Amino acid sequence: MVYYEKIYKYDIIKMVINMKRLKDKIIINQKQVMKKSLLKRYDISEEFLDMVFDEIEKKYSEKICNNYNLENIFDNPFLAYKIYLSICLNHEFDLDRFKEIDFSDEYNDNFISRVVAQTLYSDLNNTTFPMSHIVNHPVILILLSLSSLIKYRAIYHEPQVLKRRKHTDYLPILKLVSEAMTSLESILVLISERAFSQAKTIYRLYLEQIIISMAIIKNPNLINKYLEHQRLIERYANNTSDSEILKIIEEKKIPARDVKSYLSYGWIEGIDGFNELPKQRYSIKIMAKLCDVSNIYELYADATNYVHMNYLYSGVDWLKEVNKTIETLYATIIGVMNNYSVFSGYNFVYKNIDLKNELFNIFREYESLIDKEGYDIDILRLKSA
């Protein structure tokens, strides 16, 4: 009996060993298939690709697997592919920046930590394993991730916390910020699909949302007045003969041409400086001026040309426009984060990664490249996407 038990145990051990060998063989095959596909598309040496991935597996596998609730990176082939793709895209970004890369130990360590950080915070995006070349690009990935984090906080965390702390309902502000972040994500997805004109249309909406958000964040006492005018414009859209609204318009002596403008933006009367204006007009332009964001309004006004298809038959330099759009998204989201931090006290540290630093570092490199090469540089490889 003991003899047969030993044989049985031996068979189980042998089976486990064989299964491990089979799994290792499958993983090796998966690596080869993934690498073969990527090495054809990207100017990266197989040696460097292997070195970075092997180091990530050896030093950071546990951290990454814990993040995604896995035992092994290859338990989810999409994750493994995402890491490989991230290595290729970061290398491509560095080739644009440096032309020739000095593969020193310092560079390699920095490169590896960058890819690991991006792998960890990329799960903030709703699509945890995005496969698009553009969406995985480091320049865009940090914007998507931060946008998702801001939306999550604005919807599920801040409303209750701020209401307890400040005894005021800040949900209208947070809803505006959340909507702006959804617009930002839509712009980037449309760019990745090469729908540039459509991206510019959403871009204009995004800038309008940012201007209004900044106006209310700087004037939180006007939340209720803002909501009142939201209800008025909704009622007027359903019934232009609404007696209460007609009475307000008559009392305020609003010209017929300005009725919709007043109903939409009449709440800006409460912003400091409105009563001192030579012409008291109700518009987003005046709102931007009163809140010191006229620079954003200028971008908003320029984007109107794309909304009204004024450039439909013009030879628009889309590479230049896309770069300018992404640059603006960085500048505005920095403003959103700074105001959000003051407003809520949140410091944007996620899983021990300082996302503000990540954003600034990538933006600094992106701007440096734009300054050196001009806005026509095809950083995102849009010509070949």
Please give the Cα distance from 178 to 162 (Å, whole number): 16
**Domain residues for 151?**
132-219+291-385
pTM, rounded to two decimals? 0.87
Indicate whether 186 and 154 sit together in one domain.
yes
The pLDDT, as a whole number, for residue 37 is: 85
For residue 366 the two structure tokens come to: 């992106």
Indicate whether 47 and 100 sit together in one domain.
yes
Residue 22 has pLDDT above 90, yes or no: no
Which residues does 132 contact at the CB level (< 8 Å), separation at least 6? 192
Indicate whether 20 and 74 sit together in one domain.
yes
Indicate whether 20 and 95 sit together in one domain.
yes
Indicate whether 49 and 173 sit together in one domain.
no
For residue 267 the two structure tokens come to: 């709440």
**Rounded mean pLDDT of 123-149?**
79
Q: Pick 127 or 56 by higher pLDDT.
A: 56
Do residues 175 and 169 lie in contact, with contact meaning Cβ atoms separated by under 8 Å?
Answer: no
Indicate whether 253 and 308 sit together in one domain.
no
Please give the Cα distance from 79 to 298 (Å, whole number): 41
Neighbours of 339 (CB within 10 A): 16
Indicate whether 119 and 141 sit together in one domain.
no
Please report where in the chains the tokens 């209310």 appear, as a residue: 216
Indicate whether 298 and 375 sit together in one domain.
yes
pLDDT band at residue 125, thresholds of 50, 70 and 90?
Answer: low
72: helix, coil or strand?
Answer: coil
Indicate whether 251 and 352 sit together in one domain.
no
Backbone angles phi and psi of 227, in degrees to 5: -65, -35
Q: Last residue of a domain, which of 261, 285, 309?
A: 285
Q: Last residue of a domain, which of 104, 124, 144?
A: 124
For residue 294 the two structure tokens come to: 């006229």
Indicate whether 156 and 200 sit together in one domain.
yes
Tally of domains in the chain? 3
The pLDDT, as a whole number, for residue 8 is: 56
Indicate whether 190 and 170 sit together in one domain.
yes
Residue 313 has pLDDT above 90, yes or no: no
Neighbours of 77 (CB within 10 A): 15
354: helix, coil or strand?
Answer: strand
Residue 302 has pLDDT above 80, yes or no: yes
Please give the Cα distance from 161 to 156 (Å, whole number): 10
* Ranges of H-type helices in the chain: 2-41, 46-68, 77-98, 105-121, 138-156, 158-166, 171-192, 196-218, 223-238, 243-252, 259-265, 284-290, 294-307, 318-344, 355-373
Provide the 8-state DSSP code for 349: E
Backbone angles phi and psi of 194, in degrees to 5: 65, 25
Residue 165 has pLDDT above 90, yes or no: no
Q: What is the torsion angle, in degrees rounded to the nearest 10, for the CA atoms of residue 45, residue 50, residue 53 and residue 57?
A: -170
The pLDDT, as a whole number, for residue 234 is: 93
For residue 205 the two structure tokens come to: 């909406």
Tell me which of 38-42, 93-97, 292-296, 308-312 is least confident: 308-312
Indicate whether 19 and 93 sit together in one domain.
yes
**Rounded mean pLDDT of 134-144?**
89
E strand or H helix at 255, and its extent? none
* Ranges of H-type helices in 99-170: 105-121, 138-156, 158-166
Q: Last residue of a domain, which of 124, 146, 176?
A: 124
| Tally of CA atoms within 13 A in the half-sphere of 208 that contains its CB | 15
Tell me the pLDDT tens digit for each residue of 231-250.
999 999 999 998 999 999 99
Tell me the pLDDT tens digit for each residue of 249-273.
999 899 989 999 999 999 999 999 9
